[in-house]
Amino acid sequence: MLAVITGATKGIGKAIVESFAKEGFDIVFCARTAIDVKQAEKEWQKKFPSQKIIGVSCDVSKKSDLQKLMKQVLSLKKSIDVLVNNAGIFFPGKISSEKEGTLEKLMAVNLYGAYHLTRMIVPMMMKQKRGHIFNNCSTASLFAYSNGGSYSISKYAMLGFTKNLREELIPYNIKVTAVIPGATDTPSWETVKLPPNRMMPAMDVANMMVAAFKTSPQTVVEEIYLRPMKKDISEDEF
Protein backbone atom coordinates (compact mmCIF):
# COMPACT_ATOMS: atom_id res chain seq x y z
CA MET A 1 0.00 0.00 0.00
CA LEU A 2 1.17 3.52 -0.78
CA ALA A 3 0.17 6.85 0.77
CA VAL A 4 1.09 10.33 -0.48
CA ILE A 5 1.03 12.94 2.29
CA THR A 6 1.74 16.68 2.06
CA GLY A 7 2.81 19.01 4.85
CA ALA A 8 4.11 16.03 6.75
CA THR A 9 7.06 16.92 8.96
CA LYS A 10 5.20 18.62 11.81
CA GLY A 11 1.93 18.55 13.72
CA ILE A 12 -0.99 16.68 12.21
CA GLY A 13 0.96 15.76 9.06
CA LYS A 14 3.69 14.06 11.06
CA ALA A 15 1.11 12.12 13.04
CA ILE A 16 -0.59 11.05 9.80
CA VAL A 17 2.65 9.62 8.41
CA GLU A 18 3.28 7.65 11.58
CA SER A 19 -0.28 6.33 11.76
CA PHE A 20 -0.29 5.05 8.18
CA ALA A 21 3.27 3.74 8.46
CA LYS A 22 2.19 1.65 11.46
CA GLU A 23 -0.40 0.07 9.16
CA GLY A 24 2.35 -1.05 6.77
CA PHE A 25 2.09 1.69 4.14
CA ASP A 26 4.97 2.84 1.99
CA ILE A 27 4.89 6.63 2.08
CA VAL A 28 5.97 9.54 -0.08
CA PHE A 29 5.73 12.72 1.95
CA CYS A 30 6.64 16.35 1.46
CA ALA A 31 7.21 19.62 3.26
CA ARG A 32 8.71 22.95 2.28
CA THR A 33 11.90 22.91 4.37
CA ALA A 34 14.57 20.56 2.98
CA ILE A 35 16.37 20.04 6.29
CA ASP A 36 13.12 19.05 8.01
CA VAL A 37 12.33 16.61 5.19
CA LYS A 38 15.75 14.95 5.40
CA GLN A 39 15.57 14.67 9.18
CA ALA A 40 12.07 13.19 9.13
CA GLU A 41 12.96 10.76 6.34
CA LYS A 42 15.97 9.50 8.28
CA GLU A 43 13.90 9.12 11.46
CA TRP A 44 11.11 7.20 9.74
CA GLN A 45 13.39 4.96 7.70
CA LYS A 46 14.98 3.87 10.96
CA LYS A 47 11.61 3.44 12.69
CA PHE A 48 9.99 1.56 9.79
CA PRO A 49 12.89 -0.33 8.14
CA SER A 50 10.69 -2.72 6.17
CA GLN A 51 8.90 0.10 4.32
CA LYS A 52 9.85 2.79 1.84
CA ILE A 53 9.53 6.24 3.39
CA ILE A 54 10.57 8.88 0.86
CA GLY A 55 10.66 12.61 1.56
CA VAL A 56 10.56 15.41 -1.00
CA SER A 57 11.16 19.11 -0.43
CA CYS A 58 8.11 20.69 -2.03
CA ASP A 59 6.21 23.97 -1.98
CA VAL A 60 2.70 22.82 -2.90
CA SER A 61 1.86 26.25 -4.30
CA LYS A 62 4.30 25.56 -7.17
CA LYS A 63 3.26 23.15 -9.92
CA SER A 64 6.91 22.41 -10.71
CA ASP A 65 7.44 21.20 -7.13
CA LEU A 66 4.31 19.05 -7.30
CA GLN A 67 5.62 17.48 -10.50
CA LYS A 68 8.88 16.70 -8.68
CA LEU A 69 6.83 15.04 -5.93
CA MET A 70 4.91 13.01 -8.51
CA LYS A 71 8.17 11.82 -10.07
CA GLN A 72 9.08 10.18 -6.76
CA VAL A 73 5.61 8.70 -6.42
CA LEU A 74 5.71 7.19 -9.91
CA SER A 75 9.23 5.83 -9.37
CA LEU A 76 7.81 3.32 -6.86
CA LYS A 77 5.62 1.78 -9.58
CA LYS A 78 2.83 1.09 -7.08
CA SER A 79 -0.87 1.85 -7.01
CA ILE A 80 -1.75 4.86 -4.85
CA ASP A 81 -4.12 3.89 -2.06
CA VAL A 82 -4.23 7.13 -0.07
CA LEU A 83 -3.70 10.82 -0.81
CA VAL A 84 -3.66 13.22 2.13
CA ASN A 85 -3.79 16.91 1.21
CA ASN A 86 -2.60 18.23 4.55
CA ALA A 87 -0.25 21.11 3.65
CA GLY A 88 -1.52 24.48 4.76
CA ILE A 89 -0.59 27.84 6.24
CA PHE A 90 -2.38 30.22 8.58
CA PHE A 91 -2.22 34.01 8.76
CA PRO A 92 -4.69 35.62 11.18
CA GLY A 93 -6.28 38.88 10.10
CA LYS A 94 -9.36 40.72 8.97
CA ILE A 95 -10.47 40.93 5.35
CA SER A 96 -10.68 44.71 5.57
CA SER A 97 -7.13 45.24 6.85
CA GLU A 98 -4.95 42.19 6.15
CA LYS A 99 -1.80 42.60 4.05
CA GLU A 100 -2.25 42.82 0.27
CA GLY A 101 -1.68 39.41 -1.31
CA THR A 102 -2.76 37.41 1.75
CA LEU A 103 -5.74 35.84 0.00
CA GLU A 104 -3.67 34.84 -3.03
CA LYS A 105 -0.98 33.23 -0.86
CA LEU A 106 -3.41 31.33 1.33
CA MET A 107 -5.45 30.10 -1.63
CA ALA A 108 -2.30 28.98 -3.45
CA VAL A 109 -1.16 26.80 -0.54
CA ASN A 110 -4.41 25.79 1.16
CA LEU A 111 -6.51 25.12 -1.96
CA TYR A 112 -4.68 25.23 -5.28
CA GLY A 113 -1.92 22.89 -4.11
CA ALA A 114 -4.48 20.26 -3.13
CA TYR A 115 -6.42 20.84 -6.35
CA HIS A 116 -3.42 20.38 -8.64
CA LEU A 117 -1.93 17.38 -6.79
CA THR A 118 -5.33 15.69 -6.72
CA ARG A 119 -5.65 16.18 -10.48
CA MET A 120 -2.27 14.52 -10.94
CA ILE A 121 -3.17 11.50 -8.81
CA VAL A 122 -6.89 10.98 -9.44
CA PRO A 123 -6.52 9.55 -12.99
CA MET A 124 -4.48 6.67 -11.54
CA MET A 125 -7.06 6.03 -8.83
CA MET A 126 -9.83 6.14 -11.42
CA LYS A 127 -8.02 3.55 -13.50
CA GLN A 128 -7.56 1.21 -10.53
CA LYS A 129 -11.17 1.89 -9.38
CA ARG A 130 -10.21 2.51 -5.78
CA GLY A 131 -8.45 4.93 -3.49
CA HIS A 132 -9.06 7.30 -0.59
CA ILE A 133 -8.45 11.06 -0.58
CA PHE A 134 -8.33 13.01 2.68
CA ASN A 135 -8.49 16.81 2.55
CA ASN A 136 -7.48 18.60 5.72
CA CYS A 137 -10.03 21.35 6.23
CA SER A 138 -10.71 23.11 9.55
CA THR A 139 -13.50 24.23 11.79
CA ALA A 140 -12.87 27.50 9.90
CA SER A 141 -14.45 25.65 6.95
CA LEU A 142 -17.76 25.57 8.82
CA PHE A 143 -18.23 28.92 10.52
CA ALA A 144 -16.80 32.41 10.65
CA TYR A 145 -14.72 33.67 13.55
CA SER A 146 -12.86 36.83 14.50
CA ASN A 147 -9.52 37.22 12.70
CA GLY A 148 -10.34 34.38 10.31
CA GLY A 149 -9.89 36.59 7.25
CA SER A 150 -8.55 34.97 4.12
CA TYR A 151 -7.66 31.80 5.99
CA SER A 152 -11.34 31.09 6.51
CA ILE A 153 -12.06 31.86 2.86
CA SER A 154 -9.46 29.30 1.77
CA LYS A 155 -10.79 26.67 4.16
CA TYR A 156 -14.42 27.19 3.14
CA ALA A 157 -13.21 26.67 -0.43
CA MET A 158 -11.32 23.51 0.56
CA LEU A 159 -14.48 21.98 2.01
CA GLY A 160 -16.43 22.88 -1.13
CA PHE A 161 -13.72 21.30 -3.27
CA THR A 162 -13.88 18.16 -1.13
CA LYS A 163 -17.67 17.82 -1.42
CA ASN A 164 -17.66 18.25 -5.19
CA LEU A 165 -14.75 15.84 -5.60
CA ARG A 166 -16.54 13.19 -3.53
CA GLU A 167 -19.63 13.38 -5.72
CA GLU A 168 -17.57 13.21 -8.90
CA LEU A 169 -15.60 10.12 -7.84
CA ILE A 170 -18.47 7.94 -6.59
CA PRO A 171 -18.64 5.96 -9.89
CA TYR A 172 -14.97 5.03 -9.46
CA ASN A 173 -15.28 3.74 -5.88
CA ILE A 174 -12.88 6.43 -4.67
CA LYS A 175 -13.62 7.72 -1.18
CA VAL A 176 -13.17 11.40 -0.30
CA THR A 177 -13.11 12.54 3.32
CA ALA A 178 -13.02 16.05 4.74
CA VAL A 179 -10.96 16.20 7.93
CA ILE A 180 -12.25 19.03 10.13
CA PRO A 181 -10.21 19.38 13.32
CA GLY A 182 -10.62 22.03 15.94
CA ALA A 183 -7.67 23.33 17.97
CA THR A 184 -4.95 20.69 17.80
CA ASP A 185 -1.64 20.66 19.65
CA THR A 186 0.69 21.60 16.77
CA PRO A 187 3.47 24.17 16.17
CA SER A 188 0.82 26.58 14.86
CA TRP A 189 -0.21 27.14 18.48
CA GLU A 190 3.27 27.24 20.04
CA THR A 191 3.13 30.98 20.78
CA VAL A 192 -0.18 30.63 22.64
CA LYS A 193 0.13 29.68 26.31
CA LEU A 194 -2.62 27.22 27.15
CA PRO A 195 -2.86 24.18 29.43
CA PRO A 196 -1.58 21.02 27.64
CA ASN A 197 -4.98 19.31 27.91
CA ARG A 198 -6.84 22.25 26.31
CA MET A 199 -6.08 21.10 22.75
CA MET A 200 -6.45 17.79 20.96
CA PRO A 201 -3.40 15.57 20.32
CA ALA A 202 -2.48 15.43 16.62
CA MET A 203 -2.44 11.64 16.81
CA ASP A 204 -6.18 11.61 17.57
CA VAL A 205 -6.83 13.23 14.19
CA ALA A 206 -4.47 10.84 12.40
CA ASN A 207 -5.92 7.73 14.04
CA MET A 208 -9.43 8.72 12.99
CA MET A 209 -8.21 8.96 9.40
CA VAL A 210 -6.79 5.44 9.53
CA ALA A 211 -10.10 4.22 10.97
CA ALA A 212 -11.98 5.91 8.10
CA PHE A 213 -9.66 4.23 5.59
CA LYS A 214 -10.42 0.84 7.11
CA THR A 215 -14.18 1.01 6.56
CA SER A 216 -15.72 -1.40 4.09
CA PRO A 217 -15.80 -0.55 0.36
CA GLN A 218 -19.50 0.33 0.53
CA THR A 219 -18.96 2.87 3.34
CA VAL A 220 -17.44 6.34 3.20
CA VAL A 221 -16.76 8.60 6.16
CA GLU A 222 -17.63 11.91 4.54
CA GLU A 223 -16.40 14.14 7.35
CA ILE A 224 -14.18 13.67 10.39
CA TYR A 225 -15.19 16.53 12.70
CA LEU A 226 -13.19 16.70 15.93
CA ARG A 227 -13.24 19.42 18.59
CA PRO A 228 -11.60 19.89 21.99
CA MET A 229 -13.70 18.47 24.82
CA LYS A 230 -14.09 21.96 26.28
CA LYS A 231 -15.08 23.32 22.86
CA ASP A 232 -13.19 25.76 20.69
CA ILE A 233 -10.57 28.11 22.04
CA SER A 234 -11.72 31.71 22.41
CA GLU A 235 -9.54 34.83 22.15
CA ASP A 236 -9.97 35.64 25.84
CA GLU A 237 -8.01 32.46 26.67
CA PHE A 238 -4.83 33.74 24.99
pLDDT digits (tens, 9 = 90+) for 59-105: 999 999 999 999 999 999 999 999 999 999 988 888 889 999 999 99
Provide the residue type at 99 as one letter.
K
Average pLDDT, the chain: 92
pLDDT over 70 at 207, yes or no: yes
pLDDT over 80 at 9, yes or no: yes
Provide the residue type at 151 as one letter.
Y
- Average pLDDT in the 41-64 region? 96
Rounded to the nearest 5 percent, the helix, strand and coil shares of the chain are 50, 15, 35
Residue 139: pLDDT band (50, 70, 90) is confident
Structural domain of residue 92, as residue ranges? 2-237
Interatomic CA distance for residues 220 and 174, integer angstroms: 9
pLDDT over 80 at 197, yes or no: no
Mean pLDDT lowest among 6-20, 123-137, 140-154: 140-154
Q: How many structural domains does the chain have? A: 1
Q: How many CB atoms lie within 10 A of CB 24?
A: 10
- The pLDDT assigned to 190 comes to 57
**Chain CA centroid to CA 219, Å:** 21
Query: 196 vs 128, 190, 200, 237, CA distance in Å?
Result: 43, 11, 9, 13
Residue 54: pLDDT band (50, 70, 90) is very high
pLDDT digits (tens, 9 = 90+) for 15-41: 999 999 999 999 999 999 999 999 999
The CATH number assigned to the domain holding 111 equals: 3.40.50.720
Residue 146: pLDDT band (50, 70, 90) is confident
- The pLDDT assigned to 175 comes to 98
Nearest to 20 by CA among 228, 211, 215, 231: 211
Annotation marks residue 151 as catalytic: yes
Query: Please, what sign has the CA dihedral across residues 191, 196, 200, 202?
Result: positive
**Residues 6+ positions from 86 with CB-CB distance below 8 Å:** 5, 6, 7, 8, 12, 13, 16, 134, 136
Interatomic CA distance for residues 32 and 43, integer angstroms: 17
- Average pLDDT in the 182-186 region? 76
* Selected catalytic residue, list 145, 151, 156, 225: 151
- 3-class DSSP state of 6: coil
Phi, psi of 162 (to 5 degrees): -65, -45
